[in-house]
Structure 1
């Protein structure tokens, strides 16, 4: 638990009690706004976004975080995020924002919330912003970076189940990097979007896509202004076909030009995907991972 003096006041929670929390009629409009960085292991959750209650359905990360913050505020807290991750997808740093009608110091939100969170979810930092700030965690973001961790080995690695993608075929990283470079820039990524993707346009700008080998691991880092549903996992799935020799280096560009999901390879596993960072323009500057080396060392 957070040490005394941090302004933490815990309130008891019953299962599904979050829906019962509401601001009382006499409560004033929320005056305090916060931006936080959240890390999580996506295993054991149904994804980020809240879902209607269903028997046997795993909890969402959003609901889990909101319950923890609500316990500290003593009031219902709703959060917005920079990017909604799917079931089994992880985050090194998801960005969330919320408003609270009560004042709490940063340490209360961080330590207090973490005391109410499972070991697989953590609030890393909390920064206040003006109540009238023109900021939205999702729409103010200018770029997002995802990592994909991939292992190529004859046998699936038990210790990395749900934490990395796996293929039994050896991969040629040089071929993969050459193919990936052809997709940089602004394109119609229809061939790499999920059938259920609800984005208004399939056009995205892929700023960077690097592939590095670290022993038995391959780390891919992709940065874009935004990503379509399943876009990273579909890109990885097709790139693996190039890396293992089943397709030519030029094939990835051909898939892009086809503008058809059926032209590409199957979607790769969710467990290897990590939301690594979110970039905002001035005046917004958050602690983030920006000064940490982008390497596999950030995960192990």
Structure 2
């Protein structure tokens, strides 16, 4: 996964969105399940009349059932192919892709751009309804129903205790060789005019199940089962707590990915790779 583009190729950035309801996540699966990556790579090959799919690199590998409004990916295309098909790709992809995936922008990326490692933050939203009657049927694939009244102030008090740079091992599914240290830059709840509670969750990166576990913890506080300081105790313990619920994926949407100025991309790529190999397992900040 190089930041340098091979001679004769052009790195192309794609901004896209998808409804994750019918997908087994972003990444291609060996067992043949339907994935966003496979659908998009196949569509690119078809519209450019190539014999095989191209390899996409993505900003965030969303899980099965998770949606995206502001996903970013890149692909390296032969320069002559880009010159021939580039101006037509957006419209051709719209005609070839299924209706639950849309590409909104196709453009040549700046030097050193890497959709994954250049990102300085990812912003997710998680949406919950505590309406005793349930969720609006038109929102059922995007909003979780929580059958208890939720205290917005208590959830936001909990959120403030989790902000900053920490080892989030207590809220992550560990992966061999990967660090669970992350910087949680923003975490807050608001109740929309339609009564849906919406969490904004922004960090430099996320480990597996982190957002859904954080949401599950805050819901447990919001419905009165735990006090706000319980979340800080779980965080400090540094191990998975069986009482932390990982909520269902359908309430989660990747809303936006942030990148630095073009001149800072190379430095950001190096920094991001270093962060992913930190050996520390304890809480390192607040």
Q: Which of 119, 143, 164 in structure 1 is aligned with 2:99?
A: 119
> Which structure carries more relative contact order (alpha carbon 8 Å, separation 6+)?
2
TM-score relative to the length of structure 1: 0.79
- 2:23 is aligned to 45
Q: Which of 123, 127, 135 in structure 2 is aligned with 1:145?
A: 123
- 1:251 is aligned to 230
Q: Which of 95, 113, 126 in structure 1 is aligned with 2:72?
A: 95
TM-score relative to the length of structure 2: 0.83
> How far apart are the structure 2 equivalents of 1:275 and 1:237?
17
Contact 2:25–2:64 (Cα < 8 Å) also in 1: yes
TM-superposed deviation, 1:104: 4.2
Specify the SS of the correspondent of 1:36: strand
Contact 1:255–1:264 (Cα < 8 Å) also in 2: no
Structure with more helix by fraction:
2
TM-superposed deviation, 1:32: 2.2
Judging changes above 3 Å, is the alpha-carbon distance between structure 1 residues 245 and 126 closer, same or farther for their aligned structure 2 residues? Answer: same
Q: Which piece of structure 1 moves more, 255-264 or 228-237? A: 255-264
> How far apart are the structure 1 equivalents of 2:41 and 2:170?
35
TM-superposed deviation, 1:284: 7.3
- Confirm or deny that 1:204 pairs with 2:179: no
Judging changes above 3 Å, is the alpha-carbon distance between structure 1 residues 284 and 77 closer, same or farther for their aligned structure 2 residues? Answer: farther
TM-superposed deviation, 1:199: 5.8
TM-superposed deviation, 1:107: 4.4
Q: For 1:122-201, list aligned pairs within 5 A.
A: 122-129=102-109, 133-157=111-135, 158-195=137-174, 197-198=175-176, 200-201=178-179
Judging changes above 3 Å, is the alpha-carbon distance between structure 1 residues 96 and 250 closer, same or farther for their aligned structure 2 residues? Answer: same
Structure 2 gaps of 5+ residues are 1-5, 265-286
Specify the SS of the correspondent of 1:38: strand
> How far apart are the structure 1 equivalents of 2:116 and 2:223?
36
Specify the SS of the correspondent of 1:240: helix
Cα offsets for 1:185-217 (capped at 9, x unmatched): 00010110025x346211100001121001320
Judging changes above 3 Å, is the alpha-carbon distance between structure 1 residues 114 and 199 closer, same or farther for their aligned structure 2 residues? Answer: farther
Equivalent pairs counted in the alignment come to: 252
Judging changes above 3 Å, is the alpha-carbon distance between structure 1 residues 199 and 114 closer, same or farther for their aligned structure 2 residues? Answer: farther
Q: For 1:24-43, list aligned pairs within 5 A.
A: 30-43=8-21
